[in-house]
Amino acid sequence: MSTYLKYAIDPEEIQSVVKNGVAVGFEVKTKIPYYRGVSLSLIDTVRISLDGQEYGPSDMTFTIGSETYTFDEMSTMPDLRWEYGEKMTIFVRRNGGIHLGTHRVDVFIGIRVSYMGMVLPFSQSFTVCPMGG
Amino acid sequence: MIKRSVSFYSYQESYYTGRKSLEELMEYTGKTLGADGIEILAEQTPVGSFPNPSDADVDMWKGWLDKYGVTPACMDSFIDWMLYKNSILTLKEQVMQMERDLKLASRLGFPVIRVLCPVRKEVMEASIPIAEHYGVKMGIEVHSPMTFTARWITEYLEMMDRSGSKYVGIVPDFGIFQVRPAKKRIENALRSGARQEMVDLLCELTEAHTPFAELTSRMTAAGANAAEIGLANSFARTVYSEPKVLRDIAKYIVHCHGKFYDMDENCCESCIEYEEPLRVLHEIGYDGFISSEYEGQSLFGVDEFCDELEQVRRHQEMLKHLIGR
């Protein structure tokens, strides 16, 4: 099992996001599913499902360090990077966040890998039981 | 004399999980292993921020090199020609990426950059004046299943001859000398239902350098089960080259990648030949680096710990023994 399949996402860090007492969505923290860092414009595809309900890039924002981007912004950012070993927080807008109980979260991230001439797919599923929200 | 270096690709899990920092890995490589040199992927374990570290970052890096007694051997470069979703970078844009990496290598003191095998020779050719300006060589990696007789490489060699430049060359990856599946991979297959006699048959075939198509048809004909076919499939992108081929390309070699998958307790690599290729390198008077490049991480299951540092130590011991220093 590759390094990033083993260590990219800690399911404990999949949590609801609460603002002013209201759960406005949930977040997934992930390290890059590749063996090096890349330009943000190389992030080709991101999909996250909660109990089968799929969310695409337009439902998300992406935070690295202190900067937050939309997916469209990232696609125009060859000079900004997601470094190897660095966590990105993907926020998914969803009223109510993740309700109490056990849920299934599927994460798909595709990165364009030039030398392979393809989008390198990373796909993992988690059973989560987040608190709060 | 051949010099020993370590590619930090080998330590990818230690760095990714935050167990070791770049500095700690340099200390381990220099002080504990006594290696001469280090190789990094500039986009994996960056010095400061890639591609433009501050002068203070570069000074800190140079301080670490001194403190831990290691020399920059090679920096691995990537050209992202699929940088944007809807277009492929032009030749000029790819040369700009090469320039970015040559400049960084020069600032960090690396004499060579590793150029990925699928990079077009036109990109390297157009980058020669830049490489000469920065005093950094470009070496195209020849990695299994690529061979030195493939047209992709012979055309590269023609370009190098035509240019007459000393700043272009080849980085052979020792994966081209793989003769059987790694021991750890075989153990995994045995646990998944592969039978010892079928594993023996497979190893006989791979040791005879049987082409992959014939390998799978022979295994199928012998009644191979799913685990055995899976093991055979691990050779889908493995093409063996004779070690003597290094003699034919001697003048082009600028760096070597000592790929390995599984070192046993006696510091022997379980699947790749080292003795003969190193003998040839010695005979041709190669005096550059060979980097330990560990790639066995993916052979470990979700609950197994992969001890990269120990694997690299064993590989360096083997090199020390075979090189004689």
Please name the residue that has the structure tokens 């400061």.
B48
Q: Work out the minimum CA distance from A38 to partner chain B, whole angstroms.
A: 7
Q: Are residues B189 and B43 in the same domain?
A: no
Confidence of residue A131 (pLDDT cuts 50, 70, 90): confident
Cis omega (within 30 of 0) on the bond before B51?
yes
Average pLDDT over residues A51-67: 97
The enclosing H or E element of B163 equals helix B151-163
Check residue A80 and give its pLDDT: 98
**Nearest Cα residue to B140 out of B171, B111, B108:** B171
CATH number of the domain to which B81 belongs: 3.20.20.150
Are B301 and B196 within one domain? no
Contact B208, B215 (CB under 8 A): no
At residue A133, the pLDDT reads 45
Whether A3 and B41 lie within 8 Å, measured CB to CB: no
**How far is it, in rounded angstroms, from Cα A78 to Cα A70?**
14
Backbone phi, psi, residue A34, to 5°: -160, 170
Show which of B236, B270, B302 is a domain's final residue: B236
Query: Who contacts B277 (Cβ-Cβ below 8 Å, separation ≥6)?
Result: B174, B177, B243, B246
Domain match, B160 and B84 both: yes
Q: Do A117 and B78 touch (CB under 8 A)?
A: no
Say whether both B148 and B32 belong to one domain.
Answer: yes
**CA distances in angstroms from A84 to A89, B41, B54, B228, B265, listed in the order given:** 14, 11, 19, 35, 31
Put simply, the answer to whether A85 touches B17 (Cβ < 8 Å) is yes
Domain limits of chain A? 3-128
The last residue of a domain, from among B236, B259, B282:
B236
Q: Do B172 and B186 sit in the same domain of this protein?
A: no
Length of chain B: 325
- Token readout for B279 is 């003998």
> Residue A46 in 3-state DSSP?
strand
Statement to judge: residues B24 and B156 lie in one domain: yes
Which pLDDT score is estimated for A132?
55
User: What is residue B84's three-state secondary structure?
Assistant: strand
CB contact under 8 A, A84 and B302: no
Task: Assess whether B244 and B153 both reside in one domain.
Answer: yes
Last residue of a domain, one of B194, B221, B236: B236
- Are residues A3 and B9, on separate chains, in Cβ contact within 8 Å? no
Q: Are residues B274 and B304 in the same domain?
A: yes
Regions of chain B where pLDDT drops below 70: none
**Residues B297/B306, Cβ–Cβ less than 8 Å:** yes
Helix (H) / strand (E) containing B104: helix B91-108
Residues B226 and B121 in one domain: no
Same domain flag for B93 and B195: no
Contact residues on chain B for A1, CB-CB shorter than 8 A: 298, 300-302
Where in the sequence is the domain holding B191, given as residue range(s)?
182-236
Q: Are B183 and B262 in contact (CB under 8 A)?
A: yes
Residues B81 and B221 placed together within one structural domain of the fold: no
DSSP three-state, residue B149:
coil
pLDDT of residue B100: 98
Contacts of A85 in chain B (CB under 8 A): 15-18
ipTM of this predicted complex? 0.95
Whether residues B13 and A7 touch (CB distance < 8 A) is answered with yes
Total tally of structural domains belonging to chain B: 2
Q: How far is A118 from chain B (nearest CA, A)?
A: 9
CATH architecture of A3-128: Sandwich (2.60)
B164, B33, B135, B139: which is closest to B76 by C-alpha?
Answer: B139
Chain B residues whose CB is inside 8 A of the A7 CB are 13, 16-17
Q: Which regions of A3-95 does DSSP assign to beta strands (E)? A: 15-19, 22-30, 38-39, 43-50, 53-55, 60-64, 67-69, 81-82, 88-93
Residue labelled with tokens 């010095």: B47
